[in-house]
């Protein structure tokens, strides 16, 4: 089993440009983001960024951020669920932590 973890401050993701969001989030995540308040949006973007950084650490794969999704507690690569990966995200008022496990 391989493990990746990332911790990040939510404030880093406030008032980010649409171009930044398009580089970090998948199409499905961008659609979900539309319905969130600005505070929740910053938390959402930070959580997905942390999860994808943890993904890179666990898998050692070089995939564009926008090709990775975390929806309904599943990690999707190019729209397909990867059953070899498990993830969890948690947050406080100021920070987000994400962990990804790659099952062998």
| pLDDT per position as a tens digit, 55-72 | 999 999 999 999 999 999
Q: What is the DSSP string of 8-23?
A: EEGGGGTT--HHHHHH
pTM for this structure?
0.95
pLDDT band at 104 (very low <50, low <70, confident <90, very high): confident
Bridge partners of 96? 8, 91
The enclosing domain of 27 has a CATH number of 3.90.470.20
What's the domain range around 69?
Answer: 2-102
Number of domains in the chain: 1
């Amino acid at each position: 089993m391989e493990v990746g973890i990332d911790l990040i401050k939510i404030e880093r993701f406030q008032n980010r440009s649409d171009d930044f969001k398009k580089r970090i989030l998948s199409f499905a995540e961008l659609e979900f983001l539309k319905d969130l308040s600005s505070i929740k949006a910053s938390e959402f973007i930070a959580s997905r960024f942390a999860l994808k950084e943890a993904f890179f650490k666990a898998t050692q794969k070089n995939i564009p951020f926008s090709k990775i999704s975390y929806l309904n507690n599943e990690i999707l690569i190019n729209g397909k669920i990867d059953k070899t990966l498990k993830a969890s995200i948690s947050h406080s008022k100021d920070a987000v932590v994400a962990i990804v496990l790659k099952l062998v």
